[in-house]
Amino acid sequence: MSAPHSLIVVLAAGKGTRMKSALPKVLHKVAGRSMLGHVLDLAGKSAGGTVAVVVGPGMDNVATEAAAIFPGATAYTQHEQRGTADAVLAARPVIEVHAGDVIVLYADTPLIRPETIARIRAKLDEGVNVAVLGFRAKDPTGYGRLLTSGNGELTAIREDKDASDAERKIDLCNSGVMAFRVPRLADLLGRIGNANAKGEFYLTDAVEIARADGLKAAVVECAEDEVLGVNARDQLAEAEAIWQQRARKALMVSGVTMIAPDTVWLSFDTKIANDVKIEPNVFFGPGVTVESGAEIKANCHFEGATIGANARIGPFARLRPGAKLGEDVHVGNFVEVKNVAMADGSKANHLAYLGDGTVGAKANIGAGTIFCNYDGFNKSKTEIGEGAFVGSNSSLVAPVKIGAGAYVGSGSVITKNVSDGALALERSDQKEHPGWAEKFRTMMARRKGKS
């Protein structure tokens, strides 16, 4: 039976008590995206069909996250946690009207690759009715075992608590991910009972029922780390490490240089072009794009920023959301940029805060410069013209415009617009008192002698 498209059922109803968190387990993040988000992204890349998300009672935030990431996803509630088969049947309304494949994924298993789902679907195309994703476990304790016949067909899945001593020696384990090409799947799942050690309705029992109906079942194997399920904070960190390792490798293969890859942290949507060089201890938060030839020096933090071609950033630079850096821009040590567009060739090399504004092409922002953008109630813009020069230790009180080619003298507090090509100075007159220093030292020495 061919299938025009797939129904993806994502199980997200687990309470995640071992996470010890008020936040539902599946909303905890890996690489800046919720685990649920990773699985829904996988669903979109793998099938392009219908998505149903099964949530627990009161998990409105999970349903909201699902709708935000995968518009059109429908949430169904599993009112009591009575096992995985019961969870899938919470989506019975859509299962009963669906004519294609049904693939069951888990929202706490965020590392499965689209290629793996493609292999599962290919197995269905070969005539298999039930395909189960399995892996060879280093320590199979606690996992369901996949029982196979002499010709390699899957005959049953035995939960660890129900397995015999001989079955527990099997290292081929169940990931939980299953795909079905079965007529009237809801009817088949409805025949699953709960006569087992935990008294739950196991989705895994579908294999034996399907085989009793004359249907075929088979295993598709993948690496153990790909099906890591996250139930506690240490496993969340483990999933993060695996994701990061994959992403770093993919970038290096594409032509990105990382001097110390293990110290570079990426987000799910980080985009870095070829010939970018990244020094140690750099963090990419969500929404960052780096164009070809840029150099990222050590100890930088980026989020929601665009870095243009051949730009030079850092060390110790921070780019916040809305930072848009053009070609050959220099942002140096201890410079923070937030919601500022810096045009080609502009520079802010030392100790500056640029918030809410624009910097024209080839303008230079001196050390210690501050865009004073916030008055306690409103944010205002600072506009720096093309080729302008802002001297060190200047405060630009927004809203204010510095004209093209203008100069701002060091130490100035600028509160009014500066015309093109003008020099703006704002300082008190310097006064000098001859001989004062020696008199002061003498006075302090006498005081110290009396104490």
From first to last of its 451 residues, what are the pLDDT tens digits of the chain? 344 478 999 999 988 899 999 999 999 999 999 999 999 999 998 866 799 999 999 999 999 999 999 998 999 999 999 999 999 999 999 999 998 999 999 999 999 999 999 999 999 999 999 999 999 999 999 999 999 998 889 999 998 889 999 999 999 999 999 999 999 999 999 999 999 888 999 999 999 999 999 999 999 999 999 999 999 999 999 999 999 999 999 999 999 999 999 999 999 999 999 999 999 999 999 999 999 999 999 999 999 999 999 999 999 999 999 999 999 999 999 999 999 999 999 999 999 999 999 999 999 999 999 999 999 999 999 999 999 999 999 999 999 999 999 999 999 999 999 999 999 999 888 899 999 999 999 999 999 887 6
Q: What is the pLDDT of residue 410?
A: 97
The H or E element spanning position 436 is helix 436-450
Q: Which residues are catalytic?
A: 350
Domain(s) of CATH 3.90.550.10: residues in the chain: 6-227
Q: What was the pLDDT predicted at 1?
A: 39
Overall CATH class of domain 233-424: mainly beta
124 CB burial (10 A radius; 0-12, 13-18, 19+) = buried
Quick one: 257 exposed, middle or buried, by C-beta within 10 A (0-12, 13-18, 19+)? middle
Cα–Cα separations (whole angstroms), residue 149 to 83, 152, 154, 179: 27, 5, 6, 20
User: Which CATH number, 1.10.10.10, 3.90.550.10, 3.90.1720.10, 3.90.1280.10, labels domain 6-227?
Assistant: 3.90.550.10
Q: What is the pLDDT of residue 99?
A: 87
> Which pLDDT score is estimated for 39?
97
Q: How far apart are CA 45 and CA 25, in angstroms?
A: 23
For 32, list phi and psi in degrees, rounded to 5: 80, 5
Task: Measure the CA angle with vertex 95, ends 191 and 101; round to 5°.
Answer: 100
CB 319 within 8 A of CB 325: yes
Instruction: Outline which parts of the chain fall under CATH 2.160.10.10.
Output: 233-424
The token duo for 185 is 């799947």
- At 2 the pLDDT is 43
